[in-house]
Amino acid sequence: MKKAEDFLVKKLEERKQSNNLRLLPAVTPNLIDFCSNDYLGFTRSSLLKDKIKIFEQQIGITENGSGGSRLLSGNRKFTEETEDFIARFHETESALLFNSGYDANLGLLSCLGQRGDIIIYDELIHASLIDGARLSFADRLKFKHNDIHDLELKLQKAKGIIYVVIESVYSMDGDTAPLKDIYDICEKYGANLIVDEAHAIGVFGDHGKGLVHQNGLNNRIFACVVTFGKALGCHGAAVLGSHNLRNYLINFARSFIYTTAMPLHGIMSIRAAYTLLTEQDHQQDLRQNISLYRNLAFTLKWPCINSLSAIQTIILSSAEKAKDIALYLQKSGYDVRAILSPTVAKGAERLRICLHSFNTSETIEGLILKLKTHE
């Protein structure tokens, strides 16, 4: 009889040998943040904290948890009002909250695709979307990253209900999808477009409404996923789409149905973060920092992926080199992390540098100088 423990040890040893064993990082305070997805500094924003407190006082929190799923004891008037608020903000028909972006993607994709349908997806989509597609009954086909021609070839062969799944900003590359072109080709073949906006919300578009809105595609695409753990500085996600889509998800999305609803304080954080987005332009400082970084990074010897988003990459093509330089930067006070396979393809190991509205020009210049000493 084979022992499960032996299997675990073997798999971990394989990871160690290929230099990509994942370890939880040591908590090192006071490093300059070039790593988190907290693009607008909302996770530590006192403005956001104050807004959450106001909601707590207005609505009152009498419970620590929600006590059940949304379909049983976990639904609240404030939660539904927040969904309406989010739908209005993004100018879509409806929004349905999920406990995380992972849950939203898993629930959405797994319950849509039936036998005879097909999910066609960009080869670089997030693991949560891939997992959702895998759990569905539909066939799956990937197309080359951001390649309209390859997408069209796949669409020509597709049968049944066709879903095309992309991200508007790719999480490990930082580049953006040619949204309009992809939308047009989907229209040509009658395909239903699903866009994950996890890294676009708060960053792109009027008041951070995202790239779907910026391209005038809200209410035109089939579904959009927005997540709140990144620029919004809290937790959770929503699927945006038609009333029919919302009702369908309430009936069939298992990661929505079979889980305890988010407690009210989580919902209040989301509502407060959205309110904050509507009240001020938080994007200006971030845009300036992205532009400064891009100008400076252009002078580095290493290749960088062309990105207008908050996610910038330096491709080092070796796990050792990526880990080595990340460690050197951390020791110098800059929190930069290496991204290794299997998160990215072998040979495409990189530094993923996240920019924020709160990074100063001195720290961005300092980071580039440190990188130059290591070229």
100 is a catalytic site residue: no
**By the rule CB under 6 A, 171 interacts with ligand PLP:** yes
Site for ligand PLP, residues 213 to 242, rule: CB under 6 A: 227, 229, 237
Is 167 among the residues known to form the active site?
yes
- Which among 95-103, 132-140, 243-251, 297-305 is the span making contact with ligand PLP, rule CB under 6 A? 95-103
297: Cβ–Cβ under 8 A, 6 or more apart, which residues? 304, 312, 314, 368
Q: In this chain, which of 45, 100, 215, 312 binds ligand PLP, going by CB under 6 A?
A: 100
Nearer to ligand PLP, 242 or 343 (CB): 343
Q: Does 313 bind ligand PLP (CB under 6 A)?
A: no
Q: Please state, in angstroms and rounded to a whole number, the distance separating the CA atoms of residues 32 and 40.
A: 15
Smallest Cα–Cα separation from 97: which of 233, 268, 349, 336?
A: 268
CB 131, min distance to ligand PLP, A: 11
Is residue 34 part of the contact set for ligand PLP (CB under 6 A)?
A: no
CB of 225 to ligand PLP, least distance (A): 7
Q: Classify 347 in phi/psi space as left (phi over 0), alpha (psi -120 to 50) or beta.
A: left
Residue 79 touches ligand PLP, criterion: CB under 6 A: no
255 binds ligand PLP (CB under 6 A): no
Active-site residue, 126 included: yes
Give catalytic status of residue 37 as yes or no.
Answer: yes
Q: Is 181 known to be catalytic?
A: no
33, 196, 197, 335: which is the annotated catalytic residue? 196
Distance CA 277, CA 208 (A): 7
Count of residues interacting with ligand PLP (CB under 6 A): 13
Q: Which of 167, 173, 175, 349 binds ligand PLP (CB under 6 A)?
A: 167
Selecting among 90, 126, 323, 356, the annotated active-site residue is 126
330: contact with ligand PLP by CB under 6 A: no
DSSP string, 138-154: SEEEEE-TT-HHHHHHH
Count Cβ neighbours within 10 Å for each residue of 114-144 and write b for 16 or more, e otherwise. eeebbbbbbebbbebbbebbeebebbbbbbe
Q: Which of 260, 237, 265, 271 is nearest to 98 (CA)?
A: 237
How far apart are CB 172 and ligand PLP at their closest, in Å? 8
Name which of 134 and 372 has its Cβ closer to ligand PLP. Answer: 134
| Upstream peptide bond of 303 is cis (omega within 30 degrees of 0) | no
198 binds ligand PLP, rule: CB under 6 A: yes
Radius of gyration of the chain (CA): 21
Question: How long, in residues, is the chain?
Answer: 375
Q: How many CA atoms lie within 13 A of 57 on its CB side?
A: 6
Q: Does 270 bind ligand PLP (CB under 6 A)?
A: no
Residue type, 150: D
DSSP codes of every residue in 252-313: H-HHHHTSPPPPHHHHHHHHHHHHHHHHS--HHHHHHHHHHHHHHHTTSSS------SSEEE
Q: Could you say which of 45, 82, 105, 176 contacts ligand PLP (CB under 6 A)?
A: 105
Stretch that binds ligand PLP, among 42-50, 94-102, 253-261, 269-277 (CB under 6 A): 94-102
Residue 146 binds ligand PLP (CB under 6 A) = no
Rounded Cα–Cα distance for residues 335 and 369 (Å)? 15
93 is catalytic: no
Cβ closest to ligand PLP, residue 101 vs residue 113: 101
Taking the C-alpha atoms of residue 329 and residue 334, their distance in angstroms, rounded to an integer, is 5
For the residues of 36-91, what is the DSSP string, one character each?
-S-TTSGGG-HHHHHHHHHHHHHH----SS--S-TTTT---HHHHHHHHHHHHHHT
38 binds ligand PLP (CB under 6 A): no
Contact status: 211 vs ligand PLP (CB under 6 A): no
Give the footprint of ligand PLP on residues 123-142 (CB under 6 A): 126, 128
154 is a contact residue toward ligand PLP (CB under 6 A): no
Q: Is 196 among the residues known to form the active site?
A: yes
Enumerate the active-site residues.
37, 126, 167, 171, 196, 199, 230
Residues near ligand PLP (CB under 6 A) are 100-102, 105, 126, 128, 167, 171, 196, 198, 227, 229, 237
